[in-house]
Amino acid sequence: GAGVSQSPSNKVTEKGKDVELRCDPISGHTALYWYRQSLGQGLEFLIYFQGNSAPDKSGLPSDRFSAERTGGSVSTLTIQRTQQEDSAVYLCASSDKGGAEAFFGQGTRLTVV
Amino acid sequence: AQKVTQAQTEISVVEKEDVTLDCVYETRDTTYYLFWYKQPPSGELVFLIRRNSFDEQNEISGRYSWNFQKSTSSFNFTITASQVVDSAVYFCALSELDSNYQLIWGAGTKLIIKP
């Protein structure tokens, strides 16, 4: 596709349920980022994939959060046993090489009720 | 230690005024990249500019200009003759080899342009 695609665009889930958020990066981009942004706040780093390097998971807020990137392309962010504080916009971005600009998807707005 | 500092949390100016958004960074790398992004109320993050550490030339794009000064570790962004459509949150970011080129973000500056 022409840009970074995220799905779903909106997700409402009940507390305690698991959710999966998907990111399709720009084809050929080696770097992929997941961020979380709460209303009116900055970008909270979650996880960073770069090529074949081990992902930097240092931003994942708890062990309920995990992410994988299959075949160096699509990435899935999974949140288990969702809590109300997980409600936020989850943003994915990709870039084609180290030091290049990142392009962002439209985000997934997650609401935990 | 915070690597990218945007000290201005919020700035409010009247339309047509010039406004400068500050960004101060910290790195030990000699090769690094600096970025500015805009996030309008609609929410999407829009890339504005990328500079590498070897190019200190200032850049101008229409009403936007960027002042990169390695001596003060700053990469400031000026909007000339501001317009209401410039209202957004602006983020500065750093990418360095030491961090495997991971983007390191400032907290953002909310810019409000009043008509």
* Nearest Cα to Cα of residue A24 among A51, A1, A55: A1
A30: left (phi over 0), alpha (psi -120 to 50) or beta: alpha
Average pLDDT, chain B: 94
In percent, the amount of chain B with pLDDT more than 70 equals 98
Which of A31, A99, A104 is facing B33, going by the closest CB pair?
A99
pLDDT exceeds cutoff 80 at B28:
yes
Q: Is the pLDDT of residue B26 over 90?
A: yes
Residue A25: closest CA among A79, A69, A85: A69
Does the pLDDT of residue B2 top 70, yes or no? no
* Identity of the residue in A31, A50, A91 whose CB atom sits nearest the CB atom of B45: A91
**Lookup: tokens for B32:** 């690094």
Q: Give first-to-last CA distance, chain B, whole Å.
A: 38
To the nearest whole Å, the CA of B44 is away from the closest chain A CA by 6
The strand pairing partners of B75, in sequence order, are B68
Residue in chain B closest to A109 (alpha carbons) equals B43
User: Would you write out chain A's pLDDT as a tens digit for each of its 113 residues?
Assistant: 589 999 999 999 999 999 999 999 999 999 999 999 998 888 999 999 988 889 999 999 999 999 999 887 999 999 999 999 999 999 999 999 878 899 999 999 999 99
